[in-house]
Structure 1
């Protein structure tokens, strides 16, 4: 019975280990998406800065009103893109936190199976030692009786 219990716990522990691996892969994917979003944010920021510098150079020279409207419209779209990217980064950061919590829970579950396995093995060893001691006591008792 005890060996069956340990075997079942070992199976559950293996399955929990697979769940941990899967959770780690999902977390890695989300972290990769977050990193990609941050890289896009940096590129947008760099593009926005370059565009701002071009705007300042043209403004110093004087520009026509239609070109001014085009610049303002494009700059407004660029600002919207930066804000959208910031929102996406916040979303990915929240997802990373959530996936980290899932991973921690999966690890706790696996650890609890490991503890249960250790306890079951310890109980099994104690029972075997008790049986061995009982057999040794019986053997010693028989040997003592046969001498008499």
Structure 2
């Protein structure tokens, strides 16, 4: 009887994982999956950015966009979108971005692997980058 429950639980977990993978990327069909490096979300970019966010955009484009994509839209197979509800301020506060840059991040929300620490960015650089990301998030309804 116990074996039956374990087997049923294992099958249910496998089905849940398959369903998550199918819905996470729109389709299990490789032909319709986004190409490696393609943006993962559509991002509305505000017409104007604050001076801090303009500075942050420069830093983001130079350092972060290689993985997190243009305008923080993510890059398939490279890194997650930061314009996403997972990164809203109430879940990932500004200090979490500081810590991610300093220490790196162990993969936990996305299947992209671990984020390594990012050398060469000061706290002030990250503050400006976060200002840019937060303005993008607000423009896309993420508060």
Higher percent of residues as helix = 1
What TM-score, normalized to structure 2? 0.27
Please say which structure displays the higher CA radius of gyration: 1
Q: Which has the higher contact order (CA 8 A, sep 6+)?
A: 1
